[in-house]
Amino acid sequence: MNAQKLSKRLEMVASFVPTGAVVADIGSDHAYLPCYLVHKGIASRAVAGEVVKGPYESAVRQVRTEGLTNQITVRMANGLAAVEEADHIDTVTIAGMGGPLIVSILEKHPQALKSVTRLILQPNIHAKAIREWAMRNRWALQDEVILEEDGKVYEVLVLQRGQMDLSQAEILLGPKLIATKPAVFVEKWSREVANWQRVQQAIEKAEKTADNEAKHAELAQLVDMVQEVIL
Ligand code: SAM
């Protein structure tokens, strides 16, 4: 992967950035995504935010090597603290982290989202945390995709301002993915159901405690909920 040729995962994130966008990429290790977006003429300007020194320095070097220092500002900062009001950011990308970490970044500096109209979030795990945050904070899913790369499954969630009310199944699995049921989605959740069922079998063989019974019942509910969608 480099700034010209992204991974399939980051290419999917890039595909949702509107032409002319002013982008903040948070957790921008190497700044590949902002460099790609500016090179392709998709983003007009970008901020690359990184909290760790090593990746921050890689991002600075990359932006210099690509000759993009006029269009891309690299800042060492925690999450959305990398965004300044004068940047007029309209699109935020946060990719390659767990859902709960992405949510904590969004929650820590809510004022940085004032001018933002689109969030493109790519959680490696627990996308559910993002859907819950979005519902609580008046963001609505505009799109949702799932993809597999190098044996790993990734989801990309695209949010715009708006209200959405999701059922428990939609929060866990994603309303757009439930509607389209791509093969990768069905495989992911079939594996998850098989894991839960293995845990249930282990619990059935273990001592009957209130905790075990509660866990068994919780898993039974999850299995039913997911099977209803994928079977
Ligand atoms: N976004 C790139 C991608 O998807 O390929 C890099 C993903 S890398 C696994 C996660 C990066 O996010 C790391 O460089 C890490 O230092 C950075 N990071 C984690 N928490 C952060 C935070 N609160 N603020 C800024 N960067 C953060």
Instruction: Please state, in angstroms and rounded to a whole number, the distance separating the CA atoms of residues 105 and 223.
Output: 31
Ligand 1 centroid–CA 52 distance in Å is 8
DSSP per-residue letters across the chain: --SSS--HHHHHHHHTSPTTEEEEEES-GGGHHHHHHHHTTSEEEEEEEESSHHHHHHHHHHHHHTT-TTTEEEEE-SGGGG--GGG---EEEEEEE-HHHHHHHHHH-GGGGTT--EEEEEESS-HHHHHHHHHHTTEEEEEEEEEEETTEEEEEEEEEES-----HHHHHH-HHHHHH--HHHHHHHHHHHHHHHHHHHHHHHS---HHHHHHHHHHHHHHHHHHHHH-
pLDDT at 1: 80
**Sequential pLDDT tens for the chain (231 residues):** 877 889 999 999 999 999 999 999 999 999 999 999 999 999 999 999 999 999 999 999 999 999 999 999 999 999 999 999 999 999 999 999 999 999 999 999 999 999 999 999 999 999 999 999 999 999 999 999 999 999 999 999 999 999 999 999 999 999 999 999 999 999 999 999 999 999 999 999 999 999 999 999 999 999 999 999 999
The CB of 13 under 6 Å from ligand 1? The reply is no
Residue 219's CB: how many other CB atoms inside 10 A? 18
The CB of 26 under 6 Å from ligand 1? The reply is yes
- Nearest C-alpha to atom 9 of ligand 1 is from which residue? 96
What is the number of the ligand 1 atom nearest to the C-alpha of 52? 16
pTM for the whole structure: 0.97
What is the number of the ligand 1 atom nearest to the C-alpha of 108? 23
pLDDT at 4: 80
The CB of 98 under 6 Å from ligand 1? The reply is no
